């Protein structure tokens, strides 16, 4: 140990300034500047000095503000290089082995350091130190104004985006907050949005399948209620025209080819007929009330005639008539008579007294006709017809259970109620056949 110390002291006394600096660079621990964007390191630059943060809390706070390191954790190894201090704040060492010190109260100025000269060190050791940053130099006023304008425009854009996000969030969540800023009707009609045809069709299907109100659809799709009404009218007319061009009446030979086994005793049956009544809003006019009032339902109704083939397919859909019309009258006016031919047979309920109208055979439950009871043969036939008529009764039940007919049909829909009714019956029929 003594020998090592002696040799070290001897080498230390014999080294020159240049050799001393080289050894300090190689064997000492490298120090780095903590100022953002500053790349100074004692490993590659021996001309700079690196200073620790002051112990005084107020001066240390000024240092953090000056180097712009908010919420920065200072450790005993944290350094700031001498490039960020004014020249007058740095005291040169009295000897070659000493360290540069800072004047009391010195704070980093972050000014651009002056270019190095030969006086700062040997000519062979000059380093081309890059100017990494210049925080304290004054900016061009034009650049500052441009930056302020950009900040204002970006701030406005952020506010608009926040409002848009808030609006979308409120539309996705259904609650009272969604209508808090709207008028007494609880719906806002300020939108000018246009829907694509596929979206219009989807709205129309929602209207039929779910029985949604027009105001609800207007809010959901972001359009005016009048737009919803126009879309419903347009698509009901379009689908009515398209579906009306498809012939649903099935020829007699195809019906017999698909005749169920249950109809073996009634093999010539072509169609099973029955009427359905749908409750509607009562008009204010007494004359219209008398026409719309149904004695059977004790309410204002719309009445239609439906025909179903023995295998369950819908083959006839009439228009809707006033509820006071009789079964015989609706049979005469519906157009079913033009489709019937001799050799066919229809199956109807007791109320269809149409023997003098149709040109074909009629299967109908028997009447008592003043008798105390029916014969055994008539009872069996009545029961058999009732079991076979279940197809048309099932269709009528599905139509009445449709969401669109859950409530009374409003008077404002009378203009296109036939189109809506036809589309719904076709839809119910297709679903019924799909389930089978």
Domain boundaries, the chain: 18-112, 197-244, 248-401
Please state which of the ranges 5-19, 47-61, 140-154 shows the lowest mean pLDDT: 5-19
Whether 131 has a pLDDT exceeding 90, the answer reads no
For residues 376 and 369, what is the distance between their CA atoms, to the nearest angstrom? 15
- From residue 343, give the alpha-carbon distance in Å to each of 253, 269, 311, 314, 392: 12, 9, 19, 21, 22
Residue 283 has pLDDT above 60, yes or no: yes
Cβ atoms of 359 and 340 closer than 8 Å: yes
Q: Using alpha carbons, list the distances in angstroms from residue 53 to 77, 106, 385.
A: 9, 11, 105
- 163 versus 436: the higher-pLDDT residue is 163
Look-up: residue for tokens 């070290």?
8
How much is the pLDDT for 378? 84
- Name which of 14-18, 67-71, 345-349, 397-401 the model is least confident about: 14-18
Please tell me the predicted confidence (pLDDT) of residue 12: 44
Cα 259 to Cα 255, 271, 310, 348, 387, distances in angstroms = 6, 11, 6, 18, 15
Question: What totals of helices (H) and strands (E) does the chain contain, helices first?
Answer: 13, 11
Of the two residues 255 and 434, the one the predictor is more confident about is: 255
Whole-number Å distance between alpha carbons of 15 and 196: 88
Per-residue pLDDT band at 333 (split at 50, 70, 90): very high
Report pLDDT for 375: 83
Residue 7: pLDDT band (50, 70, 90) is very low
How many other CB atoms are found less than 10 A from the CB of residue 90?
15
pLDDT, average across residues 137-152: 62
Q: For the segment 360-400, what is each residue's pLDDT rounded down to a tens digit?
A: 999 988 877 767 788 888 888 888 888 888 888 888 888 88
Whether the per-residue pLDDT at 249 is higher than 60: the answer is: yes
Max mean pLDDT among 181-190, 334-343, 361-370 falls in: 334-343
* Mean predicted lDDT score pLDDT of the chain: 79
Which one has a higher pLDDT value, 67 or 116?
67
pLDDT at 201 over 60: yes
In angstroms, what CA-CA distances link 386 with 360, 382, 392? Answer: 20, 6, 11
Give residue 182's pLDDT. 54
CB 347 within 8 A of CB 385: yes
Please state which of the ranges 79-93, 112-126, 310-324 shows the lowest mean pLDDT. Answer: 112-126
Query: For residues 231 and 195, is the Cβ–Cβ distance under 8 A?
Result: yes
End-to-end CA distance of the chain: 104
| pLDDT at 420 > cutoff 70 | yes
Average pLDDT over residues 74-87: 90
CA distances from 220 to 174, 193, 203, 232 (A): 10, 12, 10, 15
Which pLDDT band, with edges at 50, 70 and 90, does 129 fall under? very low
Is 60 exceeded by the pLDDT of residue 34? yes
What average pLDDT does the segment 351-367 reach? 89
CA dihedral sign of residues 220, 221, 224, 227: negative
> What percent of the chain is modeled with pLDDT above 90?
29
pLDDT for 186 beyond 50: no
**pLDDT of amino acid 403:** 84
CA 258/CA 62 separation, integer angstroms: 97
CA distance 258 to 251: 11
Least reliable range by pLDDT among 228-237, 367-376, 404-413: 367-376
Q: For residue range 91-127, what is the model confidence (pLDDT) as tens digits?
A: 888 777 778 889 988 999 854 444 444 444 444 444 4
């Amino acid at each position: 140990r003594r020998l090592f110390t002696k040799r070290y002291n001897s080498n230390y006394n014999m080294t020159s300034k240049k050799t001393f600096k080289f050894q300090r660079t190689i064997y000492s621990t490298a120090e780095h500047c903590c100022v953002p964007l500053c790349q100074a390191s004692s490993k590659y630059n021996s001309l700079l000095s690196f200073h620790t943060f002051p112990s005084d809390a107020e001066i240390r706070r000024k240092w953090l503000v000056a180097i712009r390191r908010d919420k920065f954790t200072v450790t005993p190894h944290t350094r700031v290089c001498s490039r960020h201090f004014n020249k007058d704040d740095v005291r040169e060492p009295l000897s070659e082995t000493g360290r540069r010190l800072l004047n009391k109260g010195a704070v980093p100025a972050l000014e651009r350091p002056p270019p190095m000269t030969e006086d700062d060190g040997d000519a062979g050791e000059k380093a081309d130190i890059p100017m990494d940053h210049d925080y304290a130099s004054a900016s061009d006023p034009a650049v500052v104004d441009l930056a302020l304008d950009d900040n204002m425009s970006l701030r406005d854009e952020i506010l608009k985006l926040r409002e848009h996000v808030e609006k979308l969030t409120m539309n996705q969540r259904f609650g009272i907050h969604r209508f808090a800023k709207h008028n007494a009707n609880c719906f806002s009609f300020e939108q000018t949005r246009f829907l694509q045809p596929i979206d219009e069709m989807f709205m129309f299907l929602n209207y039929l399948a779910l029985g949604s109100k027009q105001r609800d659809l207007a809010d959901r799709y972001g359009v005016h209620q009048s737009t919803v009404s126009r879309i419903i009218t347009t698509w009901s007319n379009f689908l009515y025209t398209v579906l009306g061009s498809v012939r649903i009446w099935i020829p007699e030979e195809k019906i017999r080819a698909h005749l169920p086994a249950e109809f073996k005793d009634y093999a010539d049956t072509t169609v099973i007929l029955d009427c359905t009544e749908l409750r509607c809003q009562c008009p204010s006019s007494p004359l219209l009330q008398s026409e719309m009032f149904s004695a059977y339902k004790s309410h204002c109704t719309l009445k239609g005639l439906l025909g179903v083939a023995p295998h369950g397919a819908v083959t006839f859909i009439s228009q809707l008539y006033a509820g006071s019309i009789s079964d015989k009258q609706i049979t005469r006016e519906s157009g079913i008579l033009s489709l019937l031919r001799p050799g066919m047979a229809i199956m109807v309920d007791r109320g269809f007294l149409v023997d003098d109208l149709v040109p074909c055979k009629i299967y109908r439950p028997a009447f008592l006709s003043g008798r105390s009871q029916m014969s055994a043969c008539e009872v069996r036939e009545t029961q058999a017809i009732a079991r076979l008529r279940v197809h048309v009764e099932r269709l009528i039940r599905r139509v009445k259970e449709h969401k669109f007919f859950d409530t009374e049909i409003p008077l404002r829909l009378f203009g296109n109620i036939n189109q809506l009714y036809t589309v719904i019956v076709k839809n119910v029929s297709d679903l019924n056949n799909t389930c089978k």
